Structure 1
């Protein structure tokens, strides 16, 4: 706890003072340009990865960066209400689904129903990853656990993009050219980000 308290003091003395005008402009409103949906994993820092400042990203974090399909909006209201607010109230211009390497949530989702017996809520949440799991099992013949892990993490990003498309108000804005969807895959140990190319059906390294 002391480390966190020391961090508060350091932030106020250093970072806050550096960006004092920015924080002043954010006093009454926010105008983020991007909804960033990422995993709750402690190794993922959306602002650090994208070099963005406070006020730029509206961030949703959950286990395995999942998006409930539109038909489940009332069942998983924490995530779906945040998506709704970002698009309809904040008018974000982009939605990014950002998966990552060595994702514990994806690993658990791949190995359902054997895991998480003692965590029923987590198990229910990870049922949303079942379509990605089924695609991995149908596509991959190899028993290599690392290869399955990587495929699961990437297929999961693609499936969540499909789920976003099931939201009528998202489809409407994408078709109107006012909203862009993107799928990212972040490699923790290298810092590389791969972006899904829908036409190619593959992830390519982001290089500016």
Structure 2
């Protein structure tokens, strides 16, 4: 706990002072250019990975960076409502779905029933990506654990990109060329980010010469 409070003080004395004018500007409004949908994993830090400043990213984080398919509902839906706000109220120009290596949520898709029963809400949430699990088992039945892991993580990103297009207002803007949808795969131990190429259907390493 002490470490958190010390961090607050250091932020106010250092980072805040370095960007004081920016924070004053952001005090009354925000205009992020990108909706970043990432995993809740503590090792995935959107602003650090993208080197963006406060006010640039509208961030949604949940277990396994999942996008629930669109539906009309009166339930309390955190991810759906945040996507709606980012696109319809903030008019973001880009949506990034970012998966990552060693994802506990993706790995849990293959966990024994008794393990998942101990975390019933996680178990229910992961049902959204059961199609990914089934595809992996069907198309890569002989894959070793390591290959299955990264294939699941990447395929999960692609599935969430498809789920985004089930939102009528996203599909409309995407087809009009007013909204970009990007899929990224972040490798924690190397710092590398791979971006999904919709034409080749492969993830390509982002470098200083990368062209999306």
Distance 1:199 1:156, change over 3 A: same
Which residue of structure 2 aligns with residue 88 of structure 1? 88
Instruction: Tell me, in whole angstroms, the C-alpha distance in 2 between the residues paired with 1:139 and 1:163.
Output: 21
Matched with 1:26 is 26
Task: Give, in whole Å, the separation in 1 of the partners of 2:74 and 2:149.
Answer: 30
Normalising by structure 2, we get a TM-score of 0.95
Which secondary structure does the structure 2 equivalent of 1:127 belong to? helix
Give the 5 Å matches for 1:1-208: 1-71=1-71, 77-111=77-111, 113-208=113-208
Work out the CA distance in 2 between the residues paired with 1:94 and 1:20. Answer: 27
Per the TM alignment, residue 116 of structure 1 is displaced from its structure 2 partner at its CA by: 1.3
How many residue pairs end up in the alignment?
Answer: 208
Aligned Cα RMSD in Å?
1.3
Residue 127 of structure 1: CA displacement?
Answer: 0.6
The alpha carbon displacement at 1:83 in A equals 0.2
Q: Take 1:151 and 1:114, find their aligned partners in 2: how far apart are those partners?
A: 24
Preserved contact between residue 68 and residue 76 of structure 1 (Cα < 8 Å):
no
Query: Counterparts of 1:74 and 1:202 in 2: how far apart (Å)?
Result: 38
Distance in 1 between the 2:136 and 2:204 partners? 19
Instruction: Note the residue ranges of structure 1 that are not aligned, 5 or more in a row.
Output: none
Q: CA deviation at 1:177?
A: 1.1
